A and B are shown apart, each in its own frame.
Chain A
């Protein structure tokens, strides 16, 4: 069975510091995709970044990067130069192969950026 684990229920980080949000996953699929979503207090789900299991380079999107360690089955999100607007809930998610495109989500990490 597939599983996503986010072990940090909450984090407090000083503004302008970098922050790493942890995500580990479990799957027997050879091909899979990993996603990170941001959910601000307003409630909408915002897609941030994607990493494919066969991608040789770590994904980057602006201030977001994904530290992908396939052997350790981890896909940590790194936010550089954090901003107050980064305060939100962050979800790690995974889509396996041949699973009707279903995505499973972790329980999330609530990030608080302190001024």
Chain B
């Protein structure tokens, strides 16, 4: 199984540009999450989804949008890139209802806004 796949792995954007970070999982997990990790820091939750058609804001949602049209995919959209959004972005997923299940992470997307 591929697990959680994120694309692209690296991207440089100019201020004001937009882009979509892709995330797909093949484990039939209902729950999916987007985190950002700033240098030397822990992970902060941007958005999460408990199933297709359902999304909710996390700790730092400003400047981002998400959609969840299928169980497999959970793309993250940056509409107007700002330097403060330079970070590493992680997508994660897990099965619901079993508290001992760890989140499965993708390898991350390293994004620089210049």
Contact = CB atoms under 8 A, between A and B. Distances in A.
B partners with A:
yes
Interface of A: 4, 31-33, 35, 37, 43-45, 47, 50, 52, 91, 95, 97, 100-108
Interface stretch (B18-26, B37-45, B60-68, B74-82): B37-45
A44 B107 contact: yes
Given A35-B102, A95-B99, A43 B108 contact: yes
The 4 A-B residue pairs whose C-beta atoms are closest, nearest first, are: A45-B105, A47-B102, A105-B42, A107-B42
A76 B110 CA distance: 30
Contact of B42 (A35, A47, A91): A91
Given A52-B99, A108-B42, A100 B105 contact: no
Contacts of B42: 4, 91, 105-108
Contacts of B90: 45
Given A91-B43, A106-B42, 11 more contacts: A4-B42, A31-B99, A32-B99, A47-B103, A50-B100, A100-B31, A101-B94, A101-B99, A103-B103, A105-B35, A107-B41
B50 A100 contact: yes
A51 B38 CA distance: 27
With most chain B CB atoms within 10 A of its CB, the pick from A32, A45, A91 is: A45
A107 B37 CA distance: 10
A26 to B, nearest CB: 15
A81 B27 CA distance: 34
Nearest to A48: B102
B16 interface: no
Contacts of B104: 47
Interface in B88-111: 88, 90, 92, 94, 96, 99-100, 102-105, 107-108, 110
A55 B1 CA distance: 31
Contacts of A103: 33, 103
